Amino acid sequence: MSDSMKIGHLFPISPSPLQVDKSYQKAQGEMKRQGAEFHDLLQSKVLKFSHHAEVRMEQRGIQLKPESLSRIMNAVDEAASKGARDSLIVYKDIAMIVNVPSRTVVTAMDESGMRSNVFTQIDSAIILT
pLDDT at 48: 93
62-82 pLDDT, tens digit per residue, is: 999 999 999 999 999 999 999
Report if residue 39 sits inside a domain.
no
Task: Give me the pLDDT at residue 23, please.
Answer: 65
Q: Give how far the C-alpha of residue 112 lies from the chain's centroid of Cα atoms, to the nearest Å.
A: 31
Q: What is the pLDDT of residue 118?
A: 87
pLDDT at 25: 64
Length reported for the chain: 129
Report the number of distinct structural domains present in the chain.
Answer: 1
**Residue 21: inside a domain:** no
The pTM of this model reads 0.66
| Residue 12 belongs to some domain of the structure | no
| 36 within a domain of the structure (yes/no) | no
Domain range enclosing 70 = 47-128
112-122 CB burial, b ≥16 within 10 A, e <16:
ebeeeeeeeee
Mean residue pLDDT of the chain comes to 81
Tens of pLDDT, residue by residue over 78-124, are: 999 999 999 999 999 999 999 999 999 999 999 888 887 888 999 99
Higher pLDDT among residues 97 and 32, named by residue: 97
> Is 109 among the domain residues?
yes
Residue 35 domain-assigned? Answer: no
Residue type, 14: S
* pLDDT score for 61: 92
- The reply to whether 13 falls in a domain is no
Asked if the structure places residue 92 within a domain, the reply is yes
- pLDDT of 125 > 90? The answer is yes
Task: Let me know: does 80 contact 100? Beta carbons within 8 Å.
Answer: yes
